[in-house]
Structure 1
């Protein structure tokens, strides 16, 4: 019979198994999606970028684990996007207009969201409740950093495939439709985040939930913007996709699954239910307001 002392080692092994699986998933995805693209040092550029994503997060994990802090987690996430897009651009140069535009889109998005999240966690004293139990457990904490790398690899897939494409296509309808969706989605995300930040900064709203602006049309407008943003990027990539590179459409599907079923809406709704579940105003808001897709409140 195993003793209770064996439990920590078993948990550690499970965490390391998750890390191994995540690495295999990230590199395998990169190999399939980017296999037809430009190569460097004998490897597809996409695969090299995936390796960079893991390296950045693992290096950041070391001081974070020692200090037991998650303060720089989101900032490193943004830096990971900047790192892999930069690597892809350098290794795939010269770039066509489609590649330049989609690279700029990812850079703009990463700089905006990374700085926003970093400022937000700073206001919260550098504490993110999601990490309360895992930051004191190095193997589990390593899982979080590894999964962030996988998140980056999959979400940025369309951009990385376009940048490293060996068959550039002329600018056409898919580019303009995808770009229009991206710009609209980016605007929605920025406005929603700003509206909520302004609402929470007002002392008069202490303990209240936001139900104005875009938040009167969706309970999670920022998530809707995030999903549509990467959908737009995938549409921009369409003309250069072939074979396994169509896997880039896993990006918006993955984000939708994550934000609606795993670590987004479901967790936020549970927390909100604890705060305002018995509040008639909150119940009315939930009844009238779309959960995700932007649309006018129902009667």
Structure 2
């Protein structure tokens, strides 16, 4: 019952926060405002549900703190990145397809869906706030979270520096972490949520929330993350096809040597 209360509070917070974000998006005339909200939304849900947690205090503090740190960093990064660029082309295409009145359709299909996904993905955090303690699995979760957070943060910073150099215009970043995976930030993001899930595994209810990190991983690797981004890169950067041949799409792996040799001959 206590977890159900936390889940209800989290859902209410997510819905209200998305409505506020949508109002801000209309005022800014930028529907990609939801990207900035994404990480912040998880932080808000974790903090709002914290007082309703009944589990071990140190576990509650740890899982809430890790969620807030990840969420605030991601939101700040996306805000700084997006504020210097025009509306994300993905949202521009959605507006174009929506017709004369895009606002209601985007609210339902993007903003409301994001609120529900955010709530569902947050379930391990809510369950961990009712957990019995950290334990071995919990410390393993912290290690996975740290690896993911590092991957995501370093990958984002490497990409920011690459884009900031005018000499790299039209080129493809294939050094640093980007040498081993085409999306170190997405891979790191997935690891963060698997780490938070492991922190929830001190109870069977927490372990049962496994579909939440699965859903996040699928969304990043197969859904709205990697595929949509790569579709645009294939159109705008011819060299990206060679990069795809030799570089892992998600999990970090050594570059494929045969593809490297083919690219060199070309």
Alignment of 1:64 with 2:25, yes or no, is: yes
Task: Name the counterpart of 1:98.
Answer: 59
* Cα distance, 1:238–1:246 mapped onto 2, change above 3 Å: closer
Q: 2:104 aligns with which of 107, 119, 139?
A: 139
CA positional deviation for 1:101: 0.5
- Do residues 255 (structure 1) and 213 (structure 2) align? no
* Mapped partners of 1:60, 1:83: distance in 2: 13
Query: Any gaps of 5 or more consecutive residues in structure 2?
Result: 96-100, 258-266
Q: Does 1:294 align with 2:257?
A: no
Alpha-carbon spacing, 1:159–1:110, altered in 2? closer, same or farther (3 Å): same
Superimposed CA distance per residue, residues 31-76 of structure 1 (whole angstroms, 9 cap, x where no aligned partner): xxxxx534xxxx6211121111011111332343355322532233
Q: Relative CO higher for 1 or 2, CA cutoff 8 Å, sep ≥ 6?
A: 1
The question of whether the paired residues in 2 share the 8 Å contact of 1:196 and 1:210 is answered with yes
Greater Cα radius of gyration, structure 1 or 2: 1
Work out the CA distance in 2 between the residues paired with 1:294 and 1:157: 27
Shift of 1:161: 1.2
TM-score normalised per structure 1 = 0.78
**How many residues are aligned here?**
251
3-state SS of the aligned residue for 1:132?
Answer: helix
Cα RMSD of the aligned pairs, angstroms, is: 2.0
**Residues 231-282 of structure 1 deviation map (CA, whole Å, 9 limit, x = unaligned):** 111111111233xx544211221112212222111112211221234x4xx4
Does the CA contact (< 8 Å) of 2:149 and 2:189 recur in 1? yes
| Alpha-carbon contact 2:55-2:128 (below 8 Å) kept | no
Q: Which residue of 2 aligns with 1:45?
A: 6
Question: Which deviates further from its counterpart, 175-184 or 55-64?
Answer: 55-64
* Matched position secondary structure for 1:44: helix
Partners of 1:283 and 1:64 in 2: how far apart? 34
Deviations 1:205-237 (A, max 9, x none): 011111010000001111111111101111111
Superposition pairs of residues 128-207 of structure 1, within 5 angstroms: 128-135=88-95, 137-143=102-108, 144-163=110-129, 165=130, 168-207=131-170
User: Structure 1: 5+ residue runs without aligned partners?
Assistant: 1-35
Larger mean CA deviation between 200-209 and 283-292 belongs to 283-292
CA 1:181–1:96 in structure 2 vs 1: closer, same or farther (change >3 Å)?
same
Q: Does 1:73 align with 2:39?
A: no
Query: Superposed, which structure 2 residues align to 1:231-250 within 5 Å?
Result: 231-242=194-205, 245-250=206-211
Which of 110, 114, 131 is the aligned partner of 2:71?
A: 110
After the TM superposition, which of the residue ranges 182-191 and 86-95 deviates more from structure 2?
86-95
